Structure 1
């Protein structure tokens, strides 16, 4: 894919998921008042709010925004399958997992959240989470349907 075509695809994807990005921005801005820190991560195509003060820990993505409760997104973590039961999956980097969700949002736009919830929400059974883990392990396969 040429650089020009890729650039157009990224802009269209960002516009398509803009309603989701607004949700993330609202949450992120609210977190700033409680100590969150914001920065742009070009590789992840996302505005990241580190030290986001709410939630059980980890990260959640809304469009091109990642809300992260830790100090840095480049941390090693377990896959959903590892948390569900002993398995042979290697650990992953959280940033890679969340980048897959950014790609999913950019492809599906406003359809992402309803489809994600219909597939089980935050769960090892959710095809979106399995695809994000696969992408984090291999660098390929962020699309949730084979």
Structure 2
């Protein structure tokens, strides 16, 4: 099917920004890729998921559950990334919220990484690491519940 020339032109800026973001966060993605490859011999499986804009490593054999995003790589212990999970505020007892999609939450982190690149991990840790008080986690939960607002 032929596309109109203006259809490509209208998508060009967005695709360029996504490509630049992926390049900018590639050092983080390399860490995620190394982590994912380490799990392959123990049953982990990898697949590119366009919606998440990430290489998703499922059935990660170590850890207590959940997911970890490193650049454009999402490592998780489950069979499917699109599963319900509780928000950080809910788990911390700050409020009662309905579960959100783990895939949506992790996609927000992918976007955060693409914007901040190598700066993401130090800033994430300075903001509290894995906790309900971390604005990056609160923004990811907000994005997962509403589809908007992935930036803290």
Pairwise TM-score range, normalised by the shorter structure:
over 0.9
Instruction: Pick one of 89, 102, 108 that aligns with 2:97.
Output: 89
2:57 counterpart (46, 49, 62): 49
Count of aligned pairs: 144
Runs of 4+ in 1 over 4 A off after TM superposition: none
Q: Answer yes or no: is 1:126 the counterpart of 2:134.
A: yes
Matching of residue 72 in structure 1 with residue 87 in structure 2: no
Normalised TM-score (structure 1): 0.96
Mark the runs of 5 or more structure 1 residues left unpaired by the alignment: none
> Which residue does 1:99 correspond to in 2?
107
1:76-96 per-residue CA deviation (whole Å, 9 max, x = no partner) reads 110001100052322100000
Question: Hey, what's the Cα distance between the residues in 2 that align with 1:63 and 1:14?
Answer: 8
Of the candidates 41, 44, 47, which is equivalent to residue 33 of structure 1? 41
Gaps of 5+ in 2: 1-8
The superposition leaves residues 4-34 of structure 1 with CA deviations (integer Å, 9 ceiling, x where unpaired) of: 0000000000000000000000000001011
TM-score of the aligned structures, taking structure 2 as reference length? 0.92
* CA–CA separation in structure 1 for the residues paired with 2:138 and 2:94: 15
Per-residue CA deviation, residues 49-86 of structure 1 (Å, 9 max, x unaligned), is 00001122100000000001000001011000110005
Could you say what the CA RMSD is over the residues aligned between the two structures, in angstroms?
1.1
Secondary structure, counterpart of 1:67 in structure 2: strand
